[in-house]
Structure 1
Amino acid sequence: MAAAHPAPSRAPASCHSLTLSWSRPPETGELRRSLARALPATAAVSLWESRAPVAASHPTASAYAEREAARPLRGEGQLLRVVLVRYADGPAALVLVADRAALSRAALDRVTAGLTGDADGPVELANGAPHRWDSATAQPAWGLGDVGRRGALGSIPFEVPVPPQPLDLDLLTRAAAVVLAHYDAGEAPRIGVLDPQGPNGDWTMSTGEDLGAAPLDGTDPLPPVGIVLTDAEPDRRYRPCLAPVFPLTLYAERRADGSARGTCWYDPALIGDAVADAFARSVARAVVEGAGQGEPAAVEPTSPQEAAALIALGSTPAPSESSEDDGPAVIHHRLRNVARRRPDAVALEDGRTTLTYRALDEAAAGTALALRALGLRPGQAVGVCLERDATLVVTLLAVLQAGCAYVPLDPRYPAERLRHTTQDAGIGLVVTDSPAFPDVDGVKTVSPQELSRLARTAPANDLALPAEDAAAGAYVIYTSGTSGRPKGVMVPHRNVIALVEGASAGLALGADDVWTLFHSSAFDFSVWEIWGCLLTGGRLVVVPHWVTRDTAEFHGLLADRRVTVLSQTPSAFGRLIETDLTAGRELALRLVVFGGEPLDTRMLLPWFARHAPAACRLVNMFGITETTVHVTAETVTPEAALRGSRSVGRALPGWSVSVRDPRGRVLPPGAAGEIYVGGAGVADGYLGRPELTAERFVTDAVTGGRVYRSGDLGRMRPDGSIDHLGRLDSQVKLRGYRIELDEIRNVLLAVPCVSAAAVVLNPGKDGDPASARVDAYAVLTGGSVAEALAGARSVLPEYMVPTTLTALASIPLTLNGKLDTALLPSPRLARGNDIPRRSTGPDPTGAQDLLESELLALLGRHLGTEVRVDDNFFELGGNSLLVVRVLADLREQGLPGISTRDFYGNSTAGQFIELIRGLRG
């Protein structure tokens, strides 16, 4: 005969228990009769007797009763279990475990009175239905729990020393609310309270603003924190619940002297051990410091000792100092050392030119002489506006060898942006071969060819290069700014050397590596790509602009050149994953570094399906231009990708990170706040912006060091790693580009026909970066949408120009005068309204034959809108990611393939159709 299965346990949170000492307990039969008198005949009650093999005075005696008091009821119908634990010397402990919805604390007291002969009749049962609290439990974002520990129970003891007045439930609840406010910034703290003195001893919900007893019902989402406070009596102990109801429950037993001994109960699947410990200690501190006033103290998020420990946790020691043979921490000096060690190794190639380390150093030295001959002096800023090729790298190195700082200028930027950057940086000389570079008063332009000729005639006495100073500026990179104009970030040589030295060991960078220079020199990723490669003796492959726009060509280049180290934005790598699935060529990649924008790790799962993590390491790095490209690093595993990890890892050697509240106070692990960055990468500040520099580059009150307020939202984990949670301000990342929405707005406001404007980021469909875009709204005074967009394009680079501009009668505002995004209408795409249209005929798109219809439909699928013959792909929301998908779609349908360069040159639907028609011809 099969063994009977025991009845399932009731939820421990719905049970409570009462234990009392009984010096002269009755016989079991008498106890059973007393129990029958104390309760209605219909009550489902069980009585058990247990014998403990020790005397009541033995130190372990209480454990026998405690074990019984912690066991929940079994079966749905049982309301009460009574256990008499008899000790070896005669006394006993009476344990009652009950369903709290049927028997309140007061009812349990009346039952025990009946059992000891003091009852005046049977106890009346409550008719309340038990709550199912577990069904509404949600994971607090700050909890940092481990889902692998689901079903476990964590507990941490904590002490509240004797306060000036007895500890009460209201004070404890308010203290918990004060502490919870540090973790749930911006949210009204919600605290669950179990009041044993209430009519049913049931849960209520309280907040920091209103601590009234508002009862919870089964539909309420559970607060993340609950409070239980009971009095510890000499001969009886009451447990309001046998397990925590909420993710974190503070269970405190108040002693006769007013102090409290308690336990922080928590669900480890929802709350991490370190988070629970820090929370409990902070509540105890708030109670003790505020008890004299009857209000909890507005305690700091962390004590001074805790803050110092957290900063130390978020810091990684710098690598051991360089040897004397390495010389000063100056980029060109360290590169010259590499050239001496590996003179004939290939340093640089671009498809047309290949330079060894000796040739690179000599070519740069010659160009540096030419720059000096033009009157440049150490410390001056030199503009470099060149296409991406070997000459660009030689020129950047030459500027450094001349003792100057380079200011990279992308030749594809609008003339007005190039003009502003040149003037703002105080540039007197620009190296460029672009005929479109604007004339700027007092600024001389010189081509690389002219510098080459001049180098051959430079006087020999100019060969002596200036003294090498690690604190001297190496470059100034301009980033988007809220004022409507970009701002320049000044970075010294020592920061770049610290970055390369700090990352080299952990990423195993070395002479066998082949890197790509994929990014614009005006994007700080290029700093990492150029100097990270050349200072570690690798080979740098320069990727032409149009190859970066064509993922199939780029994949082929990676395979042909056997590239081992690749730096990519997540958006760009997403395109590469798609291409890699069908390319049929093996790659030599061993390391891929992500940066520039948040990484959704789940997008990497198709890559892991083809490439073993041991063969190709994927590293997510968080960083900012103001902190020298990279700050942290985290190796992404398939497991991390499956759970969508947002971790960007621990600080690089020499860097430090911490998470602060709006007042700059260090927050505990789990609490979200602004990421502060300190250490070797902190830049010198913003060029010519002392007020902005003072606002963002501040002195840390804890360490006395200089730190940068990143404006990024994050939280620290107990191991010192950082989760990146987005931005705090109007800055966004779009396909790897850092954009201030306020800059776009201010540029629009500068257009004469715009009187008011608003700019928002549209994240796109299902998080697809290809569909993300910037939408703008404007109040126009006499002009047209086309004029307003033209004004924006004359100043903003392509990636910042709004995809849509919608005319409004007024900008909707909230009651406090802020933009009310909920009232913004759906954006309207620009459709070239000023362009005369040809007759559309029967087809509203204007298609004249089957090929045109097929191609217009293809474009429409990717743009998510109907496309007409006269429409421009980019004015309808097209971008570089969608270009790649359109070209891949062409190939899949057997239509003629075209290059990205040809597509950009034929971006209206009609031009695109005629190009395909001609190739088909």
Structure 2
Amino acid sequence: MSVPSEAASEVPAADHPSGRLFARAEFGADPARACHSLIRRLPAGTDAVAVRANLTALTERHPVLRGMQLFDEALDIDAGDRVAHRRRTREAGRAVNGAPVIARAVVLGYADGAADLVLVAHRRAVDRRALDQLATALADPAHPVTLPEPAADASPQHDGPPHLPWGLGDPTGAGRTGTVVLTATAVAGDAPAAVPVAATAVALARYGGTERAEFALITGGPAAGDAQRSVALPVGDATRVTDLLDAAAHAGATGCEPPSGMPAVGVLLPEGRAGDVYRPALAPVFPVTLAWQYDADGTLSGVLHYAEDVLDPVIAGQFAGHIDRLVEALAHAPAGARVGDIELVATGEAAAIVAAGRTPAGGDAMVAPVHELFRKVAAGRPDAPALSDPDRTLSYAELDARSDAVAGALRGHGVAPGNRVGVCLDRDADLVIALLGVLKAGAAYVPMDVTYPAERLVHMVTDSGARLVLSSAADFPVVDGVTVLHPSEVSCAGGEPILDPGGSADDIAYVIYTSGSTGRPKGVAVPHRNVGALLAATTTDFGLGPADTWALFHSSAFDFSVWEIWGALLTGGHLVVVPYFVSRSPEDFHDLLVQHRVTVLNQTPSAFAMLKEVDLRRSADLAVRLVIFGGEPLDVRMLQDWFRGHPHTRCRVVNMFGITETTVHVTSQTVTPQDVGVGSRSVGRAMPGWSVSVRDATGRVQPFGVPGEIYVGGAGVASHYLNQEELTAARFVSDPVTGERVYRSGDLGRLRPDGRLDHLGRIDGQVKVRGFRIELGEIRSVLLEDRNVTAAVVALGGDAGDAADVRLEAYLVPKHDDVSAEDIRRRAARYLPDYMVPATFTLLSELPLTINGKVDASRLKPATEAARTTPAAEARQPTDDPVLRVWREILGQHVGPDDDFFVFGGNSLLAVRLSGALRRAGLPPVSLRELYVHPTAAEVSALITGRELIEEPNGHAAM
């Protein structure tokens, strides 16, 4: 019988024997993943006729082998010919689909008299040991064959391959696969098989930022059946290499459960037999499969197979290179070596990764003090509108003159170059005049918001060393030795303008205070040259110029205002100051945008979410051509409605990651509808003159795709923290790779191979609730996917010192008035495990914002605490009910008899506490299972009442 052109196509039977991990791995209906193959040279004199007769004899002992096919073909070439090699290799790579065709044998005869047996089998029916036995028995039917026992497949159902956080796979790449050849390495020692297992563990631990690596390990050989194991190895920097290799040698040998769901990474480490060519799988068994092979001389080689929807080809090559590097290092580690001694990323590779995150500066450098740059613009556009508030509009010439007057007055009050001047003014034209005047006096401005509490203002004045403050507040706190002047006292002062205040671009332009971990704000000192570099990096790309009108939406104490003020005035644009109360009203702000035909709009995502809803309801046309997001992470999905009314071809939307310590912005990413569709988290490449890289906790460069702390270098890095030398030294560090000064941001990110940065939130964005590590951003993302939610924030509430009282709280802005919190909760529970479902869901008309436009966490209060019981409700709540009293003791006085324990903040730990409280009150305790069935105080009361009807000793019911 000749060899068929295609393998038989049969549907596999569900009741056939299976290995558990292999059964899990068979996603995507690809039988090649479940098949293995063997090529063996037949003994001299054994031909296809003999093999067929032997198969007939075997089927009498093993009826299941009746589902085996046998083909043969005589080739007119010798066995050593390259064509013969390609032919048997091709036959060894063609799968069978399973029952009734469980295996296929092909006998290839050659012109020189030699013959090869190519055996392909479905692993559910023929495991590794049985495959070897079957190959022997087809030449010698007396040889025993032991087929695996049928085993029920307890595999959970799943919807496709898992996700690797560092893999950067392309969802559109489903079905595409790739391979990377792993470097051959000579492995010595008595347990060489431990080396690739240990190398995989170290690589996954470094890539995952953990000290515990989990993956699947599949072994097998001619003398044993397949062993499929779930491996979880502890891999810390302090672990000795010898200990790791010992643990790897015994990985998953006993007491290990199979991995839950589809393992993302699997290691195939089969034993070979001299002369055989064995393929453990005809296609990758797992999305990332490391298939190793040991040769007779001890050389280890292998292939990395990967699915492109899980692993980007560049990342795959990088990962394979790191596996090679680790195998070599572990195989030849000196005595006493520890895992932390092994560098995953070589020096040259680290330099290349850092270079990928750097964007060279353009040729239009603006290296001069801010006020000098302004003078040049004003000289060229003296009559053009420069600054407006609700009461007036000033031309560039008028703004230049009035800020000159302020500068002269400040000099008259003793302000000298290098001093710091506090500015605490309402949002109007006087604010901008004052800031420019301070710079013209040669000083640095220290912006303070008028809504700040007195204690914070005193700290800022004292810490900055300001001896003079410009403020319109009558109750500005008194500080010894500090002069407080009203803007009217400096705006009309006489005297000649200060044409040359002295100083240079390296002098400090402003000091902005940001929150500090100690509870006290810390001052960030930013030089003039940084502001010029910011504008040089963005002006051409964004097309900024005299035709633009900007809105000054943000507080001057928030560094977004630096971009708004100087972005407008240093490019010849028109700056419109947005009064505070207008900034707090999306409707009024929308009116301002329409009235002034604002073209450049800068927003935090939280503020924009409310403005967007107003815009959707109105027909008035905006002139906005550029929207820039900053200040907090952007969930691009919120832009879907915006793009419908404002196509990205007419209104460019840019997501910018930035930090006060790096001069407002660091990266930029133009957002398109396509980005919205895939939920992109990219904040783009570094701006010209800036650089970004990602490091681990020790400062080592992370590979592409691997999360770590974002380091920022280049033109925007601030000078220092005011009066905090230790903190400055800890956060502004010298990069050992480049030697440049960089800032450790404290933000979590990952660098893509093309140099784009994904921002993943704060490093401290993880919380721990009842032993579970939780990313608040993940919960928020699920909530924002609800079509009834327009804005959301998730916070940690309760008593942080009481593990049972710690809870997740969700705050939501519903799209419609008839949306209920329970509906949103019910949907979230469909996508989140129980421990990640917030305990409270509070509906708000809008999210409270700080003066900087960020969510004000201090004003978030869950509904279960904010809501008070109405008198009518009190009448329905019997205070003499002992169960309800216990309920309120645990959850709070706001809880009623029909309120669900778990909806109102209960959890498994509080359930235990509730049971104990019932017992102390003289009531029967309830189990957690009973509480799930009867989750209200009223239902538990009824349950307890029913228990009281117990049998008395004589068998009669007690009444």
TM-score (norm 2): 0.75
Equivalent residue in structure 1 for 2:356, among 313, 317, 332:
313
Partner SS state of residue 436, structure 1: coil
1:74–1:654 Cα change, 3 Å: same
**549-558 or 221-230, larger mean C-alpha shift:** 221-230
Superposed counterparts of 1:488-887, under 5 Å: 488-729=523-764, 762-765=809-812, 802-803=858-859, 828-829=865-866
Partner of 1:815: none
Kept in 2: contact 1:714–1:724 (CA 8 A): yes
Is the CA contact 1:302–1:667 (under 8 Å) kept in the aligned structure 2? Answer: yes
Summarize the Cα distance change of 1:527–1:53 in structure 2 as closer, same or farther, 3 Å threshold.
Answer: farther
**2: CA distance between counterparts of 1:767 and 1:48?**
67
Residue matched to 2:38 = 18
AA aligned opposite 2:104: R
Q: Output one character per residue of 1:841-864: Cα deviation in whole Å (capped at 9) or x when no partner.
A: 86989xxxxxxxxxxxxxxxxxxx
Q: Could you say if the C-alpha distance between residues 191 and 160 of structure 1 is closer, same or farther in structure 2, counting changes exceeding 3 Å? A: farther
- Equivalent residue number for residue 36 of structure 1: 56
Do the aligned residues in 2 keep the contact of 1:167 with 1:254 (CA within 8 Å)?
A: no
Look up the match of 2:21: none
Matched, 1:247 2:287: yes
Q: How many angstroms apart in 1 are the aligned matches of 2:571 and 2:853?
A: 33
- The aligned residue for residue 87 of structure 2 is 64
Query: Counterpart amino acid of 2:479?
Result: V
Question: Shift of the alpha carbon at 1:572?
Answer: 0.9
Q: Which residue of 2 aligns with 1:148?
A: 172
d(CA) in 2 for partners of 1:628, 1:515: 19
Q: Equivalents in 1 of 2:408, 2:867: separation in Å?
A: 51
Partner of 1:186: 210
In 1: Cα distance, 2:605 partner to 2:857 partner: 21
Deviation at 1:797, TM superposition (A): 12
Higher mean C-alpha deviation, range 251-260 or range 434-443: 251-260
Cα distance, 1:582 vs structure 2: 1.2
Give the secondary-structure state (helix, strand or coil) at the position aligned to 2:492.
helix
Match of 2:106?
83
Letter in 2 for 1:802: S
* CA distance in 2: counterparts of 1:597 and 1:799, whole angstroms: 9
Q: 5+ residue gaps in structure 1?
A: 773-794, 807-825, 834-839, 846-864, 868-921
Letter in 1 for 2:576: V
Say which of 7, 10, 13 aligns to 1:7.
10
Aligned-partner Cα distance in 2 for 1:577–1:52: 73
Distance 2:169 2:409 in 1: 61
How many Å separate the matches in 1 of 2:390 and 2:744?
Answer: 41
- Report the 3-state secondary structure (helix = DSSP H, G, I; strand = E; otherwise coil) of the residue aligned with 1:343: coil
What is the Cα deviation at residue 675 of structure 1?
Answer: 0.9
Aligned pairs for 1:319-338 (under 5 A) are 319-322=362-365, 328-338=367-377
Aligned-pair CA distance for 1:201: 1.2
After superposition, what is the alpha-carbon deviation per residue over 1:778-834, rounded to whole angstroms, capped at 9, x for unaligned?
Answer: xxxxxxxxxxxxxxxxx999975733689xxxxxxxxxxxxxxxxxxx973397x9x
Distance 2:254 2:287 in 1: 20
The structural deviation recorded for 1:730 is: 7.0
Q: In the alignment, is the contact (CA less than 8 A) between 1:160 and 1:287 conserved in 2?
A: no
Paired amino acid for 2:634: L
**Structure 1 stretch displaced more, 195-204 or 421-430:** 195-204
The aligned counterpart of 2:445 is 406
Distance 1:191-1:448 versus aligned 2 partners, 3 A rule:
same
> d(CA) in 1 for partners of 2:165 and 2:312?
11
Could you tell me whether the CA contact under 8 Å between 1:167 and 1:259 is conserved in 2?
no
**Contact 2:219–2:271 at 8 Å: present in 1 too?**
no
Structure 1 segments of 4+ aligned residues over 6 angstroms from their partners:
215-219, 730-735, 758-761, 795-799, 840-845
**Other-structure match for 1:425:** 464
Cα distance in 1 for residues equivalent to 2:567 and 2:283: 54
Are 1:131 and 1:218, in contact at CA under 8 Å, matched by a contact in 2?
no
- Stretches of structure 2 that go unaligned for 5 or more consecutive residues are 1-5, 12-28, 235-246, 767-775, 785-792, 825-850, 876-892, 896-959
Is the partner of 2:350 in helix, strand or coil? helix
Deviation at 1:339, TM superposition (A): 1.5
Mapped partners of 2:517, 2:386: distance in 1: 39
Code of the aligned partner of 1:138: P
CA distance in 1, matches of 2:860, 2:363: 52
Q: Which whole-Å deviations, capped at 9, do the CAs of 1:232-260 have from their partners, x for residues lacking one?
A: 66632111122222221111222233222
Measure how far apart 1:91 and its partner are.
3.1
| Residues 420 and 464 in structure 2, CA contact (< 8 A), matched pair in contact too | yes
Q: Which residue of 2 aligns with 1:101?
A: 124
Partner of 2:151: 128
- The letter of the residue matching 1:65 is R
Task: Say whether 1:177 aligns with 2:201.
Answer: yes
Taking the aligned partners of 1:801 and 1:144, their CA distance within structure 2 comes to: 32
Question: How far apart, CA to CA, are the structure 2 residues paired with 1:765 and 1:90?
Answer: 78
What's the RMSD between the two structures over aligned residues? 3.7
Contact 1:594–1:621, Cα closer than 8 Å, also in 2: yes
Q: 1:537 to 1:334 in 2, by over 3 A?
A: same
Task: Tell me how far apart the structure 2 counterparts of residues 690 and 317 of structure 1 sit (CA, whole Å).
Answer: 30
Change (3 A) 1:82 1:765: farther
C-alpha distance in 2 between matches for 1:114 and 1:415: 91
Q: How does 1:429-444 map to 2 (within 5 A)?
A: 429-444=468-483
| Distance in 2 (alpha carbons) for counterparts of 1:47 and 1:755 | 69
Structure 1 residues 534 and 705 mapped into 2: Cα distance closer, same or farther (>3 Å)?
A: same
Equivalent residues of 2:230, 2:258 under 8 A apart: no
| Count of residues paired in the alignment | 778
Moved more, 797-806 or 153-162: 797-806
> What is the identity, as a one-letter code, of the residue corresponding to 1:107?
A
Shift of 1:199: 3.9
* Residues 1:253 and 1:216: Cα distance change in structure 2 (over 3 Å): same
- Once the two structures are TM-superposed, the CA of residue 21 in structure 1 deviates from its matched residue by 2.9
Deviates more, 1:116-125 or 1:258-267: 116-125
Provide the secondary structure at the position in 2 that maps to 1:532.
helix
Residue of structure 1 equivalent to 2:299: 259
Matches of 1:767 and 1:716 in 2, distance apart? 35
One-letter code of the match for 1:352? D
260 and 216 in structure 1: CA distance in 2 versus 1, 3 angstrom threshold: same
Q: Is the 8 A contact 2:505 2:527 kept in 1?
A: yes
- CA gap 1:128/1:216 in 2 versus in 1, 3 angstroms: farther
User: What is the Cα deviation at residue 403 of structure 1?
Assistant: 0.8
Structure-1 residue corresponding to 2:411: 372
- In structure 2, relative to structure 1, the CA distance for the partners of 1:225 and 1:122 (3 Å cut) is closer
* Superimposed CA distance per residue, residues 493-545 of structure 1 (whole angstroms, 9 cap, x where no aligned partner): 11111111112222222222111100000011000111111112211111111
Q: Which residue in 1 is equivalent to 2:384?
A: 345
Cα 1:353/1:53, change in 2 over 3 Å: farther
Inter-partner Cα distance in structure 2 for 1:542 and 1:57: 83
SS in 2 for 1:560: helix
CA shift in 2, pair 1:289/1:219, >3 Å: closer
Query: Contact conserved, 1:166 with 1:258, CA < 8 A, in 2?
Result: no
Match of 1:303 in 2: 346
The alignment partner of 2:865 has SS state of coil
In the aligned structure 1, how far is the partner of 2:613 from the partner of 2:45?
Answer: 77
Relative to structure 1, is the Cα distance of residues 103 and 797 closer, same or farther in structure 2, using a 3 angstrom cutoff? closer
Cα contact 1:38–1:121 (8 A) shared by 2: no
CA drift of 1:666 comes to: 0.7
Question: Which residue matches 1:481?
Answer: 516
1:429-467 per-residue CA deviation (whole Å, 9 max, x = no partner) reads 01111112111111101112111232x1x3x4x734222
